[in-house]
Amino acid sequence: MASAVGLNPNRPGHRCECASVLGVADIDWSAPWLADWRLVGEPIAQRVVAGCPQPQALTEPALAPVGFVPQADLTEGQAYEDFIFATGRVPTREGLHDFFNALCWMHFPLAKKRLNQLQAREIARAGVGQVRGPVRDAATVFDENALLIQASDRLWAALTEHRWVDAFVGLREEWPHTHLWTFGHAALEKLVQPYKSITVHLWRVPGEVPHDQIDAWLAQDLTADKLATKPFSPLPVLGVPGWWPANETPAFYDDASVFRPRRLKTRAEKPYANSEIKTSA
């Protein structure tokens, strides 16, 4: 999980800090990135807004392979991921961050279980140190910020090469046929109050994978070896056609502070050597 500034995210029991001061009542369920989440999420949100404790409201539908318990149930000195692996319960705080995390458990139960297994295995192997290793780091990035995409080869090439005008303007006709699944709960939290620079991490889904088998496919695809290579590609998510009114104007993509050119690597990068991964803006 990510940390607030100045805190070690790997100390036992540490949780990532919430990025937003907004709450479940502030979710706009008509937002396009919540299209796949609304049917399940909106009724639960209504229960929370009505005063039901969030862990209870999330557990009652029995839609996840885990239960949701108050944060106080997290054993002192035990890592969050290890607690989930050992007990099948997810320590849950009130607020958007843990609300969306729980919804992800409901929508992608196999993939979330796989991520937890990978995290727990790495903790068992290497313990909880001052920095994460490459697998734990990448699993955290995926868990917090991934967006699954099923795109054509030419659109994928334009996105990964940061040819933003080609991807969003020149190939705009492809987007209605491009399938997206929001996964990262930190990204969803930030999107409750959208701003232009919100960036997600793309993970490509092969075109032949049926939509009703995405979770099963993803659980198999999330291997330690693959995650260690960090095969992500950044995407300023409000550039997706149909997801933000301002991007109807091609000039929206001229902002190089958001739609940045691809950076050439001059040396091997090891982002997991950084002791902090921030989810806040």
Q: 177-232, pLDDT tens digit by residue?
A: 999 999 999 999 999 999 999 999 999 999 999 999 999 999 999 999 999 999 99
d(CA 11, CA 16): 11
Closest to 239 in 3D by CA, of 63, 33, 28, 16? 33
The answer to whether residue 11 is domain-embedded is: no
Do 268 and 148 share a structural domain?
Answer: yes
Same domain for 252 and 159, yes or no, is yes
79, 102, 130: which is the final residue of a domain? 130
Q: Tell me the backbone φ, ψ of residue 93, rounded to 5 degrees.
A: -95, 160
Shared-domain flag, residues 46 and 76? yes
Q: Is residue 229 part of a domain?
A: yes
Domain end, chosen from 80, 104, 130, is at 130
Number of domains composing the chain:
2
pLDDT above 90 for 260: yes
Q: How far apart are CA 163 and CA 165, in angstroms?
A: 6
Residues 58 and 84 in one domain: yes
pTM: 0.87
Shared domain check, 269 and 155:
yes
